[in-house]
Amino acid sequence: MARTLITSALPYINGIKHLGNLVGSQLPADLYARYRRARGDEVLFLCATDEHGTPAEIAAQKAGKPVAEYCAEMHKVQAEIAAGFRLSFDHFGRSSSPQNHRLTQHFARRLGEEGLIEAVEETQIYSETDGRFLPDRYIEGTCPNCGYDGARGDQCDNCTKQLDPTDLINPHSTISGATDLEERVTKHLYLRQSKMRDALNDWIETKIDWPVLTTSIAKKWLHDGDGLQDRGITRDLSWGVPVQFEGAPWEGMDGKVFYVWFDAPVEYIACGAEWAAKQGLGEEDWERWWRTDKGADDVRYVEFMGKDNVPFHTLSFPVTLLGSGEPWKMVDYIKSFNYLNYDGGQFSTSRGRGVFMDQALSILPADYWRWWLLSHAPENSDAEFTWENFQASVNKDLADVLGNFVSRITKFCRSKFSEAVPEGGAHGEQETALIADLTEKVREYQSHMDAIEVRKGAAALRAIWVAGNEYMQSAAPWATFKEDPEKAAAQVRLGLNLIALYARLSAPFLPDTAGKLQTALGLDSLDWPEDVATALEALAPGREFVVPDNLFTKITDEQREDWQNRFAGRRA
């Protein structure tokens, strides 16, 4: 049995995520996890809330709650919403877990022993008004690279350039808005990434199958300008993994915590440890996924993330793993995504612009959103959500193609035969041609899914639905029945088996819909159809079924206009 380890970029704790966040990591990761399980793999699918760092403190402060309490509450909210979208995590953990504290400190100690961490005196921004050093995310200003006026002290979200707070033009405190900032000397730990440049380059060069988006970003950060830079990995915060701990190969770091981008990727591994502990398993049970000396050699590890996260996952986190000198499992494939924009602009939490995950589920069931997002995933370029496109996709793909097919066949069978698979008749040339066509189409679908080509996979699945519709429209059992009931029975029997085939193939994209079809047809499982001809005989004559309720409701123009107005946002 093949083993597949899947991680999704960790959603940050400071609020509910929008649809762009969902399609950029968690949702396609879930699609792949469901597909690999269906193909018989042993899968471990891990994700967690990213809870440390400045934004968590700011969000808790705004909510008037202690940061630990705030994070615990938001973790529960995000877990519930993830379940609403049917994200099939084996474990949804927390970066504030004891396991992540221990592992982060372990990696820091090992890197220090390997000479890859050094204490550096540096000049940092101090706010007289706030009475404290300001961590990088407590500072905003204008990006010196692209001119964006909302750049943070660690990174510009507009051009993705990594920054230091002192790089910003016209910086101000995000706590108080104060501009009375001054530079003062303090001491922090730096990860000497530059010493790992050759090792990283050699590793990246072996990844010839990575998406162009992933490798282009990685190589840009590795080689452009001054190349890979050493990076500060500690901050002056109270919430996080303490820098000073027993066995730490440095002193004088009391009151400091590790930078969130140092401890957050370690949570992938720690999440495995959390999963094992929750299941009552031992250390060896998670190590077999994460350590090559404990059996992880045969694991295929795939990461999913938005393009803004690529530099940290192709450079900084690999430095941590490689630099430790220990046999940790390195990622085999990084599936990165561009941005999903919203109806002519960007999603905006502050302006209430765009659809966020909880709002989406309050409007329509998860499968509507899963289908549109995955079939329009921003793989090769940025994509845009529009209500017109969403309405058209739901109405045509889901209601007209899939839903209508299921409704017509099951209701016709009930009216002319019974709620049981009809007997009689045999396949003719038309049916033989359909099976051959579907065999090729399923092979194409599997090829795209194996390659994690999300949009192509969705298009191939839709083509399979369409092929069945075209056959049934041409065969027209409702007309055939008048002249040859036996032949009509064979056509309807094939139609019912097509529904079972669609349930199995569609489950990774549409798990709720597939579950409804499974129940209606009385299928024991949704095993993958390894042979189409065999799968199309799975429902034997006489097998009873239930006509399911309409699978999908069309979106009306009135609904579309209402939602478009409701989520258009307000002026700042």
Residue 156 counted as an annotated binding residue: yes
DSSP conformation class of 381: S
Residue 349 counted as an annotated binding residue: yes
Q: Give the closest residue to 100 by CA, choosing from 286, 224, 368, 249.
A: 286
> How far is CA 484 from its chain centroid?
51
Residue 146 counted as an annotated binding residue: yes
Residue 19 backbone phi and psi in degrees, to 5: -65, -30
> Longest C-alpha distance within the chain, in Å?
92
The pair of structure tokens assigned to 157 is 């979200």
Q: Give the closest residue to 419 by CA, choosing from 551, 539, 542, 550.
A: 542
> How far is CA 169 from its chain centroid?
34
DSSP conformation class of 47: E
Starting at the earlier edge strand, list the strands of the sheet with 169-173.
151-152, 139-142, 169-173
For residues 154 and 55, is the Cβ–Cβ distance under 8 A?
Answer: no
Got the DSSP string for 57-115?
HHHHHHHTS-HHHHHHHHHHHHHHHHHHTT---SEEEETTSHHHHHHHHHHHHHHHHTT
For residues 18 and 339, is the Cβ–Cβ distance under 8 A?
Answer: no
3-state secondary structure 432-445: HHHHHHHHHHHHHH
Q: Residue 190 is inside which H or E element, if any?
A: strand 181-191
Residue 369 backbone phi and psi in degrees, to 5: -70, -40
Q: Residue 488 is inside which H or E element, if any?
A: helix 485-506
3-state secondary structure 390-414: HHHHHHHHHHHHHHHHHHHHHHHHH
H-type alpha helices, 208-337: 212-223, 260-278, 283-290, 310-311, 317-323
For residues 222 and 342, is the Cβ–Cβ distance under 8 A?
Answer: no
H-type alpha helices, 96-244: 98-113, 197-205, 212-223
- State the binding site: 143, 146, 156, 159, 349
- State the binding site for Zn(2+): 143, 146, 156, 159
- State the binding site for ATP: 349
